[in-house]
Copies of this chain bind each other. A is one copy, B any other.
């Protein structure tokens, strides 16, 4: 079923669609260049954009909702609605469902990813957002907690400053927008390599994607994403792993993982997460070139 959803995302999004799923590592520039937020605005239709802001991850939803409203107003969005879901019943609100049916972009703010999932998972509102995003009908962006929820598996929390080990990461169900990936955010900023590696050791068929602050993995049609922004995206690919030890879940015994493939991607790099290969990247002098895998 997850596979079907993946295929629907890849096959049913038209080659020419301008929509995307934007997975943002948190702390995106909101003041100066606003590269990532401007890209979301543009991919959502620019001055024709009808944008739904979902601030439900935050414990101050009205404050953060207002903040993003101001930004997209300044950019010139045609319509903006804050879907301030504070109770699962709110996620059945007919006016909000109507807005989602007509919107061109949805933005999930930061906060607590467990709170966001608890309020939205399997609700009519979230199901419509997920389906429209997977069909390529809208551009869906999530930052920080809003990024963490994108996979079928979600990192709910965990530790840092320890050797990779099973107890370092708490995994639960995400919102399943892009089932095949496990996302971590504020990545190098908050020392999260060990916890993402620990997550991938438990689910080696998934692709680990660690996104730095003010950086975005922009997912488009055909199972590709490109790196956008000031930092890096760390791709952890366990496809070639030849050995992983299997201490009991929850123990802090250190992990042993052999033959991980790791890519550090920066602005302009593009990756095919279905075929697990890098398609091209912009070199420091701005040239493009096709790379061998």
Q: Which residues of A contact B (CB under 8 A)?
A: 160-164, 188-191, 193-194, 197, 212, 215, 230-232, 242-243, 245-247, 253-267, 269, 278, 281, 283-284, 291-293
Contacts and interface: CB of A to CB of B under 8 A. Distances in A.
Given A254-B230, A254-B232, A259 B293 contact: yes
B267 A254 contact: yes
Copies per complex of this chain: 2
A239 to B, nearest CB: 12
B265 A262 contact: no
B261 A160 contact: no
A283 B245 CA distance: 6
A191 to B, nearest CB: 3
Contact of A255 (B191, B193, B264): B264
A155 B200 CA distance: 29
A256 B266 contact: yes
Given A189-B162, A242-B292, A278-B242, A259 B261 contact: yes
B253 A264 contact: no
A256 B291 CA distance: 13
B243 A231 contact: no
A263 B238 CA distance: 11
B265 A256 contact: yes
A166 to B, nearest CB: 11
